[in-house]
Structure 1
Amino acid sequence: MKKWISLVVVAVLLTGCEKLEESVAKLKKIDEETVIKLKTVNAYTVEENAEAKTLEVAGVVTPRQELALSFGTSGKIASILVQKGGVVKAGQTLATLDATTLQQGIHAAQGQVASANIRRSKAIQGPESHVIQTQQLQIEKAKETAQKAEREHAQAKVLFANGAIAKDELDRLALAERQAKLTLEEEEVALGKLKQGADRLDVEQANADVQQANVQLSRAKQDAADAILKAPFTGVVAAITKSESEQTGAGSEVIRLVDTSSWLVKLQVESEQIGSWQQGATIKVKAADGSEAEGKVTFVSPVMDQGLGSYPVEVTVTGSDVNWKGGMTVTCQYPIETKNVVVVPVSSIGIAEEEYFVMKIKENTVEKTPVKVGGMYGTFYEVLEGLAPGDQIVGSGLSYVVDGEAVQVSDE
């Protein structure tokens, strides 16, 4: 009997131990599952920056100069002397028009100038001697006519008094006498003008004719010059839009020339950063292919672009052998002093309802905290308000956690 009771007690104790171990295992498993369910986050401890940083702003590369070249007059293209992609020098002839008609125009204008100059010389010199002699002969002839008319009129008076002629005949002869005398006076006046020398009005008219002829000649020469297309600067032929023997009009693009000796990078800088940009500052410009060059800030707009809400800035890159193309996107790195300011990784900043925020870690719980940011320095944001040195925040993956959630910080 005692033996049986002992066996029962042992069995009960063994059963109890097994149940206890089972309960402990269950609790341990629940605890492990709870730990596993906690999200692991990378933390970043906020501290004051002790080194200088750089502002990084992306911009678009454009050639410093890009011109659509055209002839100044219309005509048929006689020759195109360059090829697309070719390098040309300033003043080099790129294309010409058929100049046959233009040269004829120059010759005609030169003839008009010569004729006008001859007429002006004659006007200045006054009438020649043979002209004066001819006028004197005209006067002698007019005198004879006037004397004859006077005699005939005198005879007619006698005849009329004796009733030999009618009154109408007397009047006709009287009129003929007056007309003969007037003609004589006119011839004498003309001789007097000839003897006075050059006529002022004639000289002025001759000068005006010469001036007009010279204007026509200048215009013809300009048309001929406009028929030759020359490079205004050293550059690369980016496009040829016309072909030889094709008609073209004045102002119609024939060749597009690009100056690649310098590049212009156009930026849009946020209002929080514009105060750091100074005209004349030297910066580094980097392209996506890894090439980089030194640039200089050549323009900082004093007013905001209201459409974009930012300030236009231009950076000029000169004397560089980078193989850039117009339209490329590059990054301008502007060095500035950022000592004793709070900076955090860009990946730790979120935006919600036009407000910046971070996920601050307090006692293994994340708390959504609004912040005010300043400039962007490479991969870091300056934080003006909302954080203090020593604060711990989620360094990346903000969409992975929610406000108030329990987390565990990664050992890394």
Structure 2
Amino acid sequence: MKKWISLSIIVLLLTGCEKLDQRTGELKRMEEETVIKVKTVSAYTVVENQEARMLETAGVVMPKQELGLSFGTSGKIASILVQKGASVKAGQTLATLDQSSLQAGIQAAAGQVASANIRRSKALSGPESHEIQTRKLQVEKAKELAAKAEREYAQATVLFANGAIAKDELDRLALAQKQAKLSLEEEEIAYNKLMKGADRLDVEEAQVGVSQANVQLSRAKQEAADAVLKAPFSGVVAAVSQLSSEQTGPGSEVIRLVDTSSWIVKLQVDSEQIGLWQTGATVQVKSADGSEAEGKVTFVSPVMDQNVGAYPVEVTVDGSAANWKGGMTVTCHYPVAGKNAPIVPVASIGISDEEYYVMKIKENTVEKTPVKVGALHGTFYEVLEGLEPGDQIVGAGLSYVVDGEAVKVADE
């Protein structure tokens, strides 16, 4: 009996130990699974931004000037004097039209000007002596004719009273006497007018004629000038669009001229950074091929471009300092003084519901914390609100953690 009891006790003890070992194993596995579920994250400790930083903004290179040139009048192209790639000076003739008809127009207009000037000079000087003498003789002749008509009419009156002539004859002589008298008056008026010298109305009319002739001459000369295409500025011929002997006209581009004496880098700066950009500031400009040049901020727009939601900024670079091409993309490095504001990596900032946030690490647990960001300094954001120096945040991979999740910090 005692032996059986001992065996039972031994069996119970063995069974209990087995269950204990099983339970211990389960707890160990649960602990291991719990450890496995804790995500490992990289952390970043927030520090104040005391040092100067560089704003990096991409821009597009444009030449100082680019202009399509066309003739100011229609005609056949007589000659094109430059080729693509040629360097030209301001005022240099680049192309011409056939000017044969235009020169004929200038000569005709010049002749009209000369004739008008002669008429004006004559009007200003008044009548010449031979004109006065001729008019005086005409007055004397009119007086004689008037006196003769007067005598004939007087004789006819006596004859009619005696019945020697008919009434029709008397009326004819009366009309002749009257017409002779009117002719005399007209000649005397003309003579008196001539004796007064230059007539004001004649002088004014002659002056108008001169002005009109000069307008025609100026127009003809302008048309001839419009038939010569000259460089408005020094630069490089980028394209020649037409050939000699082709018909062309105003607004039809013949040559495209580019001024590469300096380059304009056009930037679009967001509202968070535009307050940092100042006209006259020095900027380092780097191209994709590694070349660098120093530029100056020459324009900061006072208003936002609503089409892109940013402020236009221009940086001017001396053309001799960089062998660039229009349309290239470059990066402008703009130095700004440091502020007493924390800075964090761009990768540590998330955006949710149009709000910026970070994942702050507290006692191995992440906490989603809204922040207000400021300027972008290369790969770092300024944080204006929401963080303090010394705070620890998830440095990257925000999409792999959620608010309230337990984490393990791997490194900083």
TM norm. shorter chain > 0.5: yes
Whether the aligned pair in 2 keeps the contact of 1:293 and 1:320 (CA below 8 Å) is no
Whether the aligned pair in 2 keeps the contact of 1:109 and 1:220 (CA below 8 Å) is yes
Alignment partner of 2:265: what SS? strand
Aligned residue for 2:151? 151
Deviates more, 1:398-407 or 1:338-347: 398-407
Whether the aligned pair in 2 keeps the contact of 1:286 and 1:293 (CA below 8 Å) is yes
Q: Residue 264 of structure 1: CA displacement?
A: 2.0
Aligned residue type for 1:373: V
Instruction: Tell me, in whole angstroms, the C-alpha distance in 2 between the residues paired with 1:323 and 1:22.
Output: 78
Instruction: Tell me, in whole angstroms, the C-alpha distance in 2 between the residues paired with 1:54 and 1:23.
Output: 61
Aligned residue for 1:6? none
Q: Residue 30 of structure 1: CA displacement?
A: 6.1
Aligned residue for 2:372? 372
Instruction: Tell me, in whole angstroms, the C-alpha distance in 2 between the residues paired with 1:173 and 1:49.
Output: 124
Aligned residue type for 2:355: E
Whether the aligned pair in 1 keeps the contact of 2:46 and 2:344 (CA below 8 Å) is yes
Post-superposition Cα deviations, 1:235-262, rounded to whole Å, max 9, x if no partner, equal 2222333222222222332222222222
Aligned residue for 2:281? 281
Post-superposition Cα deviations, 1:129-163, rounded to whole Å, max 9, x if no partner, equal 33223223323332332232222212212211211
Alignment partner of 1:148: what SS? helix
Q: Residue 306 of structure 1: CA displacement?
A: 4.0
Instruction: Tell me, in whole angstroms, the C-alpha distance in 2 between the residues paired with 1:82 and 1:36.
Output: 76
Aligned residue for 2:337? 337
Whether the aligned pair in 2 keeps the contact of 1:43 and 1:410 (CA below 8 Å) is yes
Q: Is 1:66 aligned with 2:66?
A: yes
Q: Residue 287 of structure 1: CA displacement?
A: 2.3
Instruction: Tell me, in whole angstroms, the C-alpha distance in 1 between the residues paired with 2:181 and 2:120.
Output: 35
Aligned residue type for 1:83: Q
| Correspondence 1:146-225 to 2 at 5 A | 146-225=146-225
**TM-score, normalised by the number of residues in structure 2:** 0.89
Q: Is 1:328 aligned with 2:328?
A: yes
Whether the aligned pair in 1 keeps the contact of 2:260 and 2:319 (CA below 8 Å) is no
Aligned residue type for 1:210: V
Deviates more, 1:73-82 or 1:30-39: 30-39
| Correspondence 1:231-310 to 2 at 5 A | 231-310=231-310
Alignment partner of 1:253: what SS? coil
| Correspondence 1:83-122 to 2 at 5 A | 83-122=83-122
Deviates more, 1:213-222 or 1:359-368: 359-368
Q: Is 1:39 aligned with 2:44?
A: no
Q: Which runs of 5+ in 1 are unaligned?
A: 1-9
Instruction: Tell me, in whole angstroms, the C-alpha distance in 2 between the residues paired with 1:339 and 1:250.
Output: 57
Q: 1:320 to 1:391 in 2, by over 3 A?
A: farther
Q: Residue 349 of structure 1: CA displacement?
A: 0.6
Q: Residue 29 of structure 1: CA displacement?
A: 6.4
Q: Residue 408 of structure 1: CA displacement?
A: 2.4
Identity of aligned residues (%): 77
Aligned residue type for 2:310: S
Instruction: Tell me, in whole angstroms, the C-alpha distance in 2 between the residues paired with 1:280 and 1:202.
Output: 65
Instruction: Tell me, in whole angstroms, the C-alpha distance in 2 between the residues paired with 1:311 and 1:293.
Output: 23
RMSD, aligned CA: 2.9
Instruction: Tell me, in whole angstroms, the C-alpha distance in 2 between the residues paired with 1:84 and 1:212.
Output: 43
Whether the aligned pair in 1 keeps the contact of 2:365 and 2:404 (CA below 8 Å) is yes
Q: Residue 104 of structure 1: CA displacement?
A: 0.8
Post-superposition Cα deviations, 1:109-128, rounded to whole Å, max 9, x if no partner, equal 11111111122222222222
Corresponding residue pairs, total: 407
Aligned residue type for 1:362: K
